[in-house]
Amino acid sequence: MTVKEPALREIILDILLEVLEKGKYSHVILSQALTKYQYLEKQDRSFIKRVVDGTVEYRIQLDYILNSYSKVKVNKMKPVIRTILRMSAYQICHMDRVPDSAACNEAVKLAEKRGFSGLKGFVNGVLRSISRGKDNLVFPDDSIRCSMPEWLASMWKSTYGEETFRRMMESFLKDRPLMARLCLNRAEKQQILDSLGAQGVTAKDSRYADDVICLEGVDYLEGLEAFREGWLQIQDLSSSLAGDAAGIKDGDYVIDVCGAPGGKGLHAADILGGTGMVEIRDISEAKVSLIEENIGRSGLTNLRAAVCDALSFDPDSEEAADVVIADLPCSGLGIIGRKPDIKYNMTPEKLHDLACLQREILSVVQRYVKPGGTLVYSTCTVNREENEDNMRWFLEHFPFEPVNLKGRLGEKLSEPSMESGYIQFLPGIHPCDGFFIAVMKKCG
């Protein structure tokens, strides 16, 4: 039975209060809520997700709109009223299927239900003014138009130019497809596709990898047979290509140093085809527990998980690994399209601190690579200080040389930088998240 819309909007309000007022991660709180309300019909759950994601994503733009039509500025409003107005303004400005009158009326009811009867007129007046004026809105700059912090917009324009910046921003604001890597050692591709189709999920091939597909119509991941049976792992195309770039060979010993939730390590074990060994490490028992859960579902036996701080040197691993995968903590700017609150929590100072942390970790884990072995450095960000600059610094300080990636990532993918050992994926330019991969061989 479909839940009445006011009840849905109460759920949305509670989620957004946790995210926008208490600073909780939107993807975590939303996932918890959708699990809690699993009994809701698919269209209701989709509505909740759309309004939550959109309100967080467009917060800068929505605040500009609200400030343009309200005498009380957003930062002076009561948190509940501020959140009701944001989520309702999003519906009015960005959801054609929701009548403006419905968005206004339900906002008024919600304000009253939350104990703000005295502000019903204010809520109604602001939202109806927005409804009347939305077609004439003019945004003063790209920061507000794209709902991106000004310093980030400026950085990307300077780095990539106006056209690439525009395409990146458009990509961030579009719905992101859920991608999955097929575990073809567990099941045939057609068997997996048939299973997904039987459960109402549409699968489309990705552009660069035959074993990565785009999924549409996934309502509850854990309900999919293909997921439960370990026939697929949720992993973006860009992330899966890190395993392909590594050049892993039968019998290799692979260490994944910051590996939770385990996607790249699992991919490495798949590539090994039951040979060799992959050790996936991370800093806490909680993260290792998540890795072990994914290992258990995969059915693979040539890998293990271990608690290990990547900043602390492990003497038993010195020059032991054929391949070290270092997918390190980063700013996450490449996945803003999936986790929009990243852009509000990041600062230039944090970017620099993360780049320094990455250098510290690289200084430690490079010692685990055998002479002639391979180090894969990757991040899910679009920031030269963390990516190209750190690669350049690393090659200047340690006995490694870049590996030509031509041919390692398939015939369809070709970028000039690949000959120099790295590739930067950009949202809107490539059909995937923003992601950086560098591959370097230890001399000797």
Concerning whether 380 is annotated as a catalytic residue, the answer is yes
Residue keyed to tokens 């109402």: 200
Q: Is 366:400 a contact under the CB 8 Å cutoff? A: yes
State the pairing for strand pair 303-307/277-282.
parallel
Spatial separation of the C-alpha atoms in residues 312 and 283, rounded to whole Å:
10
Q: Is 106:5 a contact under the CB 8 Å cutoff? A: yes
DSSP string, 89-138: HHHHHH-TTS-HHHHHHHHHHHHHHTT-GGGHHHHHHHHHHHHHHGGG--
Q: Which amino acids are annotated as binding site for S-adenosyl-L-methionine, given as ranges?
A: 282, 309, 327
Q: Is 42:81 a contact under the CB 8 Å cutoff? A: no
Residue keyed to tokens 């060994």: 277
Q: State the virtual CA torsion across 52, 16, 55, 216 in degrees, nearest 10.
A: -10
Q: What share of the chain is helix, strand, coil (3-state, %, to 5)?
A: 50, 15, 35
Of the residues 104, 308, 380, 432, only one is catalytic, namely 380
Spatial separation of the C-alpha atoms in residues 217 and 226, rounded to whole Å:
14
What φ, ψ does residue 145 adopt, rounded to 5°?
-60, -40
Q: Give the up-direction half-sphere exposure of residue 242: CA atoms within 13 A in the CB hemisphere.
A: 33
Kindly list the catalytic residues.
380
